[in-house]
């Protein structure tokens, strides 16, 4: 058991917003300035792809300048675009590339080459795109030959911000309005940023539409802290006895704040301070104090608002009184790893009472956890979740591939150590 966690922390910039700032900055006229950009491996992959297509991007570590060349200013890359471990990069950039006047190939690491891309190939093809999985397995590498695109109304079978964003970005180039309807509302960072850059966006219930603009205009973007990164400190602050943490400038977009609602439903002492709007995105400081939790049911409309936070919620549920049930979360199976299976396996090895279900987990809390060897499957969210579990267990877990946290939070271990001194 670690000593109480005390102090303030500013988590890195939001990963989703950082990705999108590069993409829209590249397609806008003028210089876009991005402050608090996430310097994680995934977002650096996005920068690398746009540099390869002739966009000057200056990254000094604290802010990023993108010298955009307009909607039709991209150039054919000299080689294959490497998206690293970033599913966001692959899926969103595919929408943009589908309309260019050149051909490209996209690939990534071994994890990306197993993640499903048919979910974007299908709607982009309906728009007239020439996009194929080179190996014919619905995964990367992808070959995209730019075409003239048509506006469509796409009814997505999954609530996925990446699918929605890919289609909306392709819609920038279509010959008419493009609409996407989801079964549930997924995170809306793309819609908010497109509006800020001058695109005409309309939203009604679970449907979003875009009308092709003549141009996008460069902006100044202040990226709020990533609530997905803050989630680990929220959980640690709740679970480690005697802790009190202030998480500064965290994005609390209502399409992303599900973890706050779930933890509060479980009895957590969480207070939002200094709420404000940060470049069109709601943000606040979050005060969290340690305390007891009780079980809950997590299902339905809230799932898309916390899909990346479910691994750390599963950890917290192990220490809650009663049973926590997670349903409707089959999307966890197609992340960097099958997070349902990996979290069930790892928590069970540590002594938790966790049962895997078809679309989630059933977790009976109140059992002491102990040290175990954990295979992170090189999944950053798995590695950080088990690190937090180790703070309140009998022994620190041996996490294989723990350095994968650099994908979204390079200084995670250092920041956590500072708070326990």
Helix (H) / strand (E) element for 16: namely: helix 15-27
Judge whether 3 is annotated as a binding position.
no
Judge whether 166 is annotated as a binding position.
no
Judge whether 335 is annotated as a binding position.
yes
Query: What is the signed CA dihedral for 180, 185, 189, 193, rounded to 10 degrees?
Result: 50
Judge whether 381 is annotated as a binding position.
yes
Q: Which position among 42, 285, 308, 379 bears the catalytic label? A: 308
Q: 138-172: b or e for each residue (b if 16 or more CB lie within 10 Å)?
A: ebbbbebebbebebbebebebbbbbbbbbbbbbbb
For tokens 């939002």, name the residue: 272
Which residues pair with residue 19 across a beta bridge?
none
Judge whether 308 is annotated as a binding position.
yes
The dihedral through the CA atoms of 309, 165, 55, 144 has a sign that is: positive
Q: Tokens for 371?
A: 């040290």
Judge whether 33 is annotated as a binding position.
no
Residue whose C-alpha is closest to residue 276's, from 257, 255, 253, 256: 253
Judge whether 339 is annotated as a binding position.
yes
CA distance linking residue 114 with residue 94, whole number of Å: 17
Alpha carbon separation from 93 to 107, 209, 313 (Å, rounded): 12, 19, 31
CA distance linking residue 8 with residue 31, whole number of Å: 33
Judge whether 20 is annotated as a binding position.
yes
For tokens 């599900």, name the residue: 258
Q: 358-374: b or e for each residue (b if 16 or more CB lie within 10 Å)?
A: ebbbbbbbeeebeebeb
Judge whether 377 is annotated as a binding position.
no
- The verdict on whether 308 is a catalytic residue reads yes
Judge whether 162 is annotated as a binding position.
yes
CA distance linking residue 303 with residue 280, whole number of Å: 23
Judge whether 114 is annotated as a binding position.
no
CA distance linking residue 5 with residue 419, whole number of Å: 5
Binding site as annotated, residues for phosphoenolpyruvate: 15, 87, 115, 162, 339, 381
User: Active-site residue numbers?
Assistant: 308
Binding site as annotated, residues: 15-16, 20, 87, 115, 160, 162, 308, 335, 339, 381
Binding site as annotated, residues for 3-phosphoshikimate: 15-16, 20, 160, 162, 308, 335
């Amino acid at each position: 058991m670690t000593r109480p966690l005390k102090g303030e922390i500013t988590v890195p910039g939001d990963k989703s917003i950082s990705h999108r700032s590069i993409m829209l900055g590249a397609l806008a006229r003028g210089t876009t300035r991005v402050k608090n950009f996430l310097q994680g491996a995934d977002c650096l992959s996005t920068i690398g792809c746009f540099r390869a297509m002739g966009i000057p991007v200056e990254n000094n570590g604290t802010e990023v300048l993108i010298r955009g060349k307009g909607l039709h200013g991209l150039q054919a890359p000299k080689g294959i675009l490497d998206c690293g471990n970033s599913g966001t990069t692959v899926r969103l950039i595919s929408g943009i590339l589908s309309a260019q006047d050149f051909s490209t190939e996209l690939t990534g690491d071994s994890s990306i080459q197993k993640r499903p891309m048919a979910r974007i190939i299908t709607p982009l093809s309906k728009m007239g795109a020439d996009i194929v999985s080179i190996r014919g397995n619905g995964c990367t590498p992808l070959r995209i030959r730019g075409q003239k695109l048509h506006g469509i109304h796409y009814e997505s079978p999954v609530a996925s911000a990446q699918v929605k964003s890919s289609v909306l970005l392709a819609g920038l180039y279509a010959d008419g309005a493009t609409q996407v309807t989801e079964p549930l509302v997924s995170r809306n960072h793309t819609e908010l940023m497109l509006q800020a850059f001058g695109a005409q966006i309309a939203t009604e219930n679970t449907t979003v539409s875009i009308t092709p603009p003549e141009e996008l205009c460069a902006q100044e973007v202040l990226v709020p802290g990533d609530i997905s990164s803050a989630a680990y400190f929220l959980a640690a602050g709740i679970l480690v006895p005697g802790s009190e943490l202030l998480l500064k400038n965290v994005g609390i977009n209502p399409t992303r704040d599900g973890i706050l609602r779930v933890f509060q439903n479980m009895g957590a002492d969480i207070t939002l301070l200094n709420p404000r709007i940060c470049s069109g995105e709601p943000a606040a400081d979050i005060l969290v104090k340690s305390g007891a939790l009780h079980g809950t049911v997590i299902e339905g409309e809230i799932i898309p608002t916390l899909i990346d936070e479910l691994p750390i919620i599963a950890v917290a549920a192990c220490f809650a009184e009663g049973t926590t049930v997670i349903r409707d979360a089959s999307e966890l199976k197609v992340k960097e790893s099958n997070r349902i299976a990996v979290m069930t396996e790892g928590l069970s090895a540590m002594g938790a009472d966790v049962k895997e279900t078809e679309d989630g987990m059933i977790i009976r809390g109140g059992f002491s956890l102990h040290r175990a060897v954990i295979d992170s499957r090189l999944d950053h969210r798995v590695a950080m979740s088990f690190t937090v579990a180790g703070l309140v267990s009998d022994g620190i877990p041996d996490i294989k591939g723990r350095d994968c946290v650099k994908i979204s939070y390079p200084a995670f271990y250092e920041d956590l150590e500072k708070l326990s001194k």
